Chains A and B, each alone.
Chain A
Amino acid sequence: MPTITIDNKKVEFENGMTVMQACELAGAEIPRFCYHEKLSIAGNCRMCLVEMEKAPKPVASCAMPAGDGMVIKTNTDTVQKARKGVMEFLLINHPLDCPICDQGGECDLQDQALHYGFDKSRYEENKRAVKNKHMGPLVSTIMTRCIHCTRCVRFSTEVAGVDDLGLLGRGENAEITTYLEKTIDSELSGNVIDLCPVGALTSKPYAFKSRPWELTKTETHDVLDGVGSSIRVDSRGKQVLRVLPRINEDTNEEWINDKTRFAIDGLSRQRLDKVYIKNDNKLNVADWDTALNKIKDELNKRGKEKTITLSGKFTDAETIIASKLFLEGLGSNLYDCRFDNAQIIHNESESYKFNSSIQEIENADAILLVGSNPRWEASVLNARIRKAYINNNCKVGVIGPGLDLNYPYTKISNSLSGLNDIKEKKSEFSKIFHNSKNPLIIIGTSAINNSEGASVLKLCADIAKKLPNYSNTFNPLNILNQDISRVGSLELGFVNKYFDNKFEENIKENIKTNKPVIFLLGLDEIDPKNLEQAFVVYIGHHGDLNAQHADIVLPSPAYTEKTSTFMNIEGRVIQTSRCYNPLGEAKEEWKIFRVLSDLMNCDLQFNNLNDVRKHLVDNNKNFLQILECNNTSNLSFASPEVITEHTIAYNISNFYMNDSISRSSETMANCTNEILNKAKAS
């Protein structure tokens, strides 16, 4: 390996590294504004100057490729002087408004000015003023503060794949803007706020809310999509003020989508914080004892062995296992989590997981999307597909109606029958697909939410098995679930064949004949009309659709208020942390089922969270290793089915508001109006 000498210290580096990366290997910290690991190199801020032997003047280390035998100095007087000079130039026009700037306290410019700045300015001229630009409902701009690092421009062009931002003019007239100040049309737009090293782009909903040092910072995971991005929740009291991404190369890299970041105001609206019982068609506040005893009476009256439990989008694994054990104690196995009617092959975990792992998308050179809109279903995963397109010229084929994706794709058909052509290598894309080295199949739930779903899975498995990269260690078949609860629930067997194919109709049928007690674990994606004759117990945290129609409402904590376990789409076990205590009288679901089990005399063998988790692991060993996923590659359900004509309709109509938390969020409502409705109108 080549070596480089940095501050008299010899380090080995890999070919292709820059001087800055080599300096980091040697432990020398280099200040920077424009350079960002995940973006292309611009080299325009000049803050990273270092001295290089035999070079007549300091070089920008971020843009200089490291070479064998180079001698670099990062802490000499020349370097210090050069950086001080750069800093002085940056500060000529930067306003002194730190006291009223939202970036204050976490500002790169502030921090670096402490080391390289002068205590006073040598300039008497006026500072330049730049008009603020409109960039939509999420990003607020104070453009006078901009230092033209162009990170935001590179992010939106390269990662988000929307050519919306640009740097106009030059020199003193340079300005960052969107074309004619249009809204940034990307669901990753919030990341430019994190990327901005100064306070030019800040969060609109968070404006003037708080200082970073006042916030309680909790490292946890997002639950608003299936990826389970690593996030940091900044809260004050019982209010989440903001969500920031944490670096996790396995799932979200450094990005999170705008729903994850901005739907948090939904956590303090429409919340259920008390127990409610319906009397005379009106929900009245009640206490836990009355409510639980009422449930007990209804269970006994209506027949406890007929009880149904359905889980929603945010149900954690602890709730699933507790409610499953409770229901089995009652003598019922009518539980399910597939409210969107997505089919699976029973007892085959490969039929509902993202088997190849999210990271593998980067290596793909051909991707077949079957009934999936990854941009909305898993935005950060979609950023990986774009990465594959940029780095490997990955070819993407779409089976389903046309989509607005941020990479080019070949549309194969509107109907699922396009799969037949792929299998028989009829269409042009199928030839490309079968001849590529690293193809992947990604099946969205919109492709399998019908009675043919199982056949689609079987056929796709058959196609996957014949792909060149299929082996007993690598599985190119991926199912992209939209909800964080899904894979965990299925892994725990929270599913009943009875609900196969026609979920909602089967429920309707069952309720008509049995009139049972039905527990909804935060499930709002089902028509309350179908539940009318049942006794509905809604356990959840938001007063959304079904809570209003329930007979009893039991409050439970939202994802920021409890520590719970989830499995993301890959089957990766993630554990969220409690950022603050639950609102009002909310109780964790497993506690509710534990108390109910006492009332019903069915013995549940757990008394605390650890016991519940023991049950989890007993039930499924995959829950043992946090942040790991153990995926198999057998595809034993593969069979060459023939798919009949079935037109796909995507099952997300609004990215910004498709669960009970984001539906309660004002910010998300603004996004819907300003971004989606405008796009529809034009």
Chain B
Amino acid sequence: MKHPGMTNKVYNISNDVFNWSEENFNRVSEIIKKYPNSRQQSAVIPLLDLAQRQNSGWLSKTAIEKVAETLSMSYIRVLEVATFYSMFNLEPVGENFVQICRTTPCWLRGSDKLTKVAQEVSNAKLGETSTDNKFTIVEVECLGACCNAPMVQINDDYYEDLDEHNFRKILIDLKNNKSINKGSQIGRQTSHPKRGNDA
């Protein structure tokens, strides 16, 4: 299972520079303030997240080092955290980071088909980024929305109750920069039973 969040390698682009954007710089100091003095290294996870968001969804060598320097930590300590959590991507990802759940409930409800659709639309193999940099398609284990299986996570949001058709539409819309609806694609309220099956 190839996943940019599950590697221990640091990806380095030559001449890459990472500096906090002005907005994020202010957020950094706000985040650090939440932790007691001398315990500010606890802010490493929120700062890595902030850095990842600023750095188009992944952490470069310079981003990791910037976080370390911001918190006066050694590089290896920050890298330990960044490699531990699969949510921190250590390789470049496309604009839409599509994580398709393949654990049993989703698989029974047709996640294999979704994987196929995703590869068709993006023209990228599993674990890879499309040439237009629109998509990175990966398979993941359970994301905890089994009741609305099958589901995928695209960037920060869940898309549930998918089938080949609506998932293809979502991806094509994303490709064309159109807005899409989050959550259940069949109008289900949270995880209520599907309409028509109420009784």
Which residues of A approach B to under 8 Å, CB–CB? 163-170, 173, 175, 177-180
Contacts and interface: CB of A to CB of B under 8 A. Distances in A.
Interface string B18-56: 000000000000000000000000000000000000000
18 contacts: A163-B73, A163-B76, A163-B77, A164-B74, A166-B80, A168-B79, A168-B80, A168-B83, A168-B84, A169-B6, A169-B84, A173-B8, A175-B8, A177-B8, A179-B74, A179-B75, A179-B76, A180-B61
B10 interface: yes
Interface string B53-96: 00000000100000000000111110110011000000000000
Nearest first, the 4 closest Cβ-Cβ pairs linking A and B are: A163-B74, A166-B76, A179-B76, A168-B8
Q: Chain B CB within 10 Å — which of A164, A167, A169, A175 has the most?
A: A169
Given A168-B83, A177-B76, A180-B75, 15 more contacts: A164-B74, A166-B76, A166-B77, A166-B79, A167-B80, A168-B79, A168-B80, A168-B84, A169-B8, A169-B83, A170-B83, A170-B84, A175-B8, A178-B76, A180-B61
Contacts of B10: 180
A174 to B, nearest CB: 9
Contacts of A180: 10, 61, 75
B1 to A, nearest CB: 11
A163 B83 CA distance: 17
Interface residues of B, number: 13
Contacts of B73: 163
Nearest to B85: A170
Contacts of A170: 83-84
B8 to A, nearest CB: 4
Interface of B: 6, 8, 10, 61, 73-77, 79-80, 83-84
Contacts of B75: 179-180
Contact of A164 (B61, B76, B84): B76
A463 to B, nearest CB: 31
A177 B10 CA distance: 12
A242 B3 CA distance: 44
A408 to B, nearest CB: 11
Main secondary structure of the interface of B (DSSP, over half): helix
Contacts, number: 36
Q: Chain B CB within 10 Å — which of A169, A177, A179, A180 has the most?
A: A179
A179 B79 contact: yes
Contacts of A173: 6, 8
Nearest to B73: A163
A168 B79 CA distance: 7
Contacts of A168: 8, 79-80, 83-84
Contacts of B8: 168-169, 173, 175, 177
A365 B84 CA distance: 37
A167 B6 CA distance: 14
B75 to A, nearest CB: 5
A170 B76 CA distance: 15
Contacts of A177: 8, 76
A163 B73 CA distance: 9
Contacts of B83: 168-170
A170 B73 CA distance: 20
A169 B10 CA distance: 12
A202 to B, nearest CB: 21
Contacts of B76: 163-166, 177-179
Nearest to A130: B8
B158 to A, nearest CB: 24
Contacts of A165: 76
A195 to B, nearest CB: 18
A282 to B, nearest CB: 54
B174 to A, nearest CB: 30
A165 B77 CA distance: 9
A40 B80 CA distance: 18
A163 B80 CA distance: 12
Nearest to A178: B76
A168 B83 CA distance: 6
A158 to B, nearest CB: 13
A169 B90 CA distance: 11
A175 B80 CA distance: 10
Nearest to B82: A168
B165 to A, nearest CB: 37
A516 to B, nearest CB: 56
A166 B8 CA distance: 11
Contacts of B6: 169, 173
Contacts of A179: 74-76, 79
A310 B106 CA distance: 84
A203 to B, nearest CB: 23
A173 B76 CA distance: 16
A173 B10 CA distance: 15
A247 B93 CA distance: 52
Contacts of B77: 163, 166
A179 B61 CA distance: 11
A251 B110 CA distance: 68
Nearest to B75: A179
A540 B23 CA distance: 68
Nearest to A156: B76
A177 B6 CA distance: 16
A419 B156 CA distance: 60
B134 to A, nearest CB: 28
Nearest to B80: A166
Contacts of A163: 73-74, 76-77
Contacts of A164: 74, 76
A337 to B, nearest CB: 42
A178 B8 CA distance: 12
A430 to B, nearest CB: 25
A177 B77 CA distance: 11
B48 to A, nearest CB: 14
Nearest to B10: A180
A173 B83 CA distance: 10
A216 B79 CA distance: 43
Nearest to B9: A168
A286 B75 CA distance: 59
Nearest to B84: A170
A167 B8 CA distance: 10
B141 to A, nearest CB: 12
A170 B8 CA distance: 9
